[in-house]
Amino acid sequence: MYGTGSVNRPVISQSGSTPTPDRSDAIGSRGLAPLLEPQRYELIAERLAADVRAGRLAPGERLPSERELARRLAVGRASVREALAALALRGVLETRPGSGSFVAADALDRLAGTDPTAHDAGPFDLLEARLLLEPGVAALAARRGRNDDEVERLLDAMDAAAAEGDRAGWNEGDRRFHRRLAALTRNPVLAGLADEIAALMDQPLWQRLRDDSIAQPGRARVHAAEHRMIYEAIVDGDVAAASFYATQHLERVRRYMTTDQET
């Protein structure tokens, strides 16, 4: 039931660009916001929701694995994972560790409500952007390297949260840590971009996938150690090491969020 033509894609012009919809009416009228083009994970989530509404996926039924869904829908596994997490946030799906994703008993009722996760930034798009930005931030902070009491306090707090299994405390410390590194560059543009990223990291879909990832034993401790390595390189003024450790950290975050809890 999941053929390769199942996900609608935007029409691409011969020039290779996606045509921009005519928004002249919306722009000229009060109270109408510009239309937002759905992200890939939202298209996948809506396809699965449509199958639930149509009875092709029944309450209690187990979905195919992430890998199998990606193959059948001809999309990336990361997008499938985002879609499943978005539907789980809405209560449409239930994720059972070691067993997979199942249609919730009240899925149809849930689908009748509003979608609180619509247009969350895709977590893997966010990670891609962070990989482009944050190693450079760490390198610039290292050029201006110095000790920072706030970073050291956050590192201690994240160590404690990792030891206690406090996911909310860990996520808050993680967001604030990366924002603080941008502040150490003394570049207000970079600090502003870090604030935008921190806001995206507070969205429900990011939190869901990040929580699933760090729930695995030992992973939060690994991330905490990587944070310390980045900070120590900055304090030492080691530009190359700061950039390397930031890249290594974000690559590990992406790997953990992509490949853990195979279903």
Give yes or no for residue 10 having a pLDDT over 50: no
Scored b (16 or more CB within 10 A) or e, 209-228 reads bbebbbeeeebbebbbebbe
Average pLDDT across the chain, whole number:
81
How confident is the model over 23-76, as pLDDT tens digits?
444 444 455 555 456 678 888 888 888 888 888 888 889 999 988 998 998 888
- The answer to whether the beta carbons of residues 173 and 158 sit under 8 Å apart is yes
So what's the pLDDT on residue 19?
47
* Pair 101, 134 in one domain: no
So what's the pLDDT on residue 39?
79
How confident is the model over 97-118, as pLDDT tens digits?
778 889 988 888 888 765 555 5
How confident is the model over 160-205, as pLDDT tens digits?
988 888 888 888 899 899 999 999 999 999 999 998 898 888 888 8
pTM above 0.75, yes or no: no
Domain termination residue (choose one: 112, 139, 157) = 112
So what's the pLDDT on residue 1?
52
Percent of the chain clearing pLDDT 90 (strictly above): 32
Report which residue type is found at 143.
Answer: R
Q: Which of 250, 252, 260, 261 is nearest to 127 (CA)?
A: 250
Which residues touch 182 (CB under 8 Å, ≥6 apart)? Answer: 137, 141, 190, 191, 193, 194
- The answer to whether the beta carbons of residues 142 and 233 sit under 8 Å apart is yes
For residue 93, the SS3 value is strand
Look up the domain containing 137 and give its range.
123-259
Which residues are paired to 133 by β-bridges? none
Domain termination residue (choose one: 61, 85, 112) = 112
- The answer to whether the beta carbons of residues 126 and 85 sit under 8 Å apart is no
Confidence of residue 131 (pLDDT cuts 50, 70, 90): very high
Residue 146 to residue 213: CA distance in whole angstroms: 32
Quick check: is 30 in a domain? no
Residue 237 to residue 217: CA distance in whole angstroms: 33
* Pair 212, 237 in one domain: yes
Q: How many domains does the chain have?
A: 2
- The answer to whether the beta carbons of residues 201 and 126 sit under 8 Å apart is yes
Quick check: is 95 in a domain? yes
So what's the pLDDT on residue 145?
79
Tokens matching residue 33: 């916001």
End-to-end CA distance of the chain: 19
Residue 66 belongs to a domain with what CATH number? 1.10.10.10
So what's the pLDDT on residue 31?
55
So what's the pLDDT on residue 262?
45
Residue 165 belongs to a domain with what CATH number? 1.20.120.530
* Pair 85, 210 in one domain: no
